[in-house]
Amino acid sequence: MIHSLKVYVAGSFGGRHRIRAEALKLPKDYNVLSRWFTDDDFIEKAWDNDFAGRVAEAMAMGDTYAILEADLFILDTFEPSTTGGRDVELGIAHALRLRTGKPRIVHIGPYRNIFQTLVREHYSSWEEFLQHEKP
């Protein structure tokens, strides 16, 4: 049986369409756990009407559990973040890595804050990252 690599992709909500297209280029055995950039996710649609309520809470918990499950955390920083969500997600991934040694954390794009410099594996483009991931 082939082991699937569980991946969480964090990025700016404004860049979600580009990020989704990039995530679709990951190798076939990479199982992307992120739902936030998927247009057809029912929770994302409900969130538009309940930003600060239970729907938002459910989304945040779902994303947190997905990060805890991930073998690989990818941080995309091409667009500025307007919500700060990706920075919180990176903080969760950093803390988890310090405690357990996983997930592997990859940064793709420009540095936007000091905490991103803690990520040792950095790529200037998705193309460069994907080239590195080829078997």
Question: pTM for the whole thing?
Answer: 0.90
Q: What is the mean pLDDT of residues 42-51?
A: 55
More confident residue, 99 or 2: 99
Which two structure tokens, joined as six digits, stand for 9? 């992709």
More confident residue, 13 or 97: 97
* Nearest to 110, CA basis, from 15, 33, 6: 15
Buried b (16+ CB within 10 A) or exposed e, 109-131: beebeeebeebeebbeebeebee
Q: Is the pLDDT of residue 58 over 90?
A: no
Strands 121-123 and 30-32, sheet pairing? unpaired
DSSP code string of 73-108? EEEE-SSPPSS-HHHHHHHHHHHHHHHHS-SEEEEE
Q: Tell me the two tokens of residue 43.
A: 């929770």
Cα gap 54→26, rounded to integer Å: 32
Q: What is the pLDDT of residues 23-41, one digit of tens each?
A: 999 999 999 999 888 766 5
Is 7 in contact with 30 (CB distance < 8 Å)?
yes
Q: Which pLDDT score is estimated for 1?
A: 45
- Quickly state the pLDDT bin for 60 (edges 50, 70, 90): confident
Q: Which CATH architecture has domain 5-133?
A: 3-Layer(aba) Sandwich (3.40)
Q: pLDDT digit string (tens) for 71-96?
A: 999 999 999 998 899 999 999 999 99
Q: What does the pLDDT read at residue 83?
A: 87
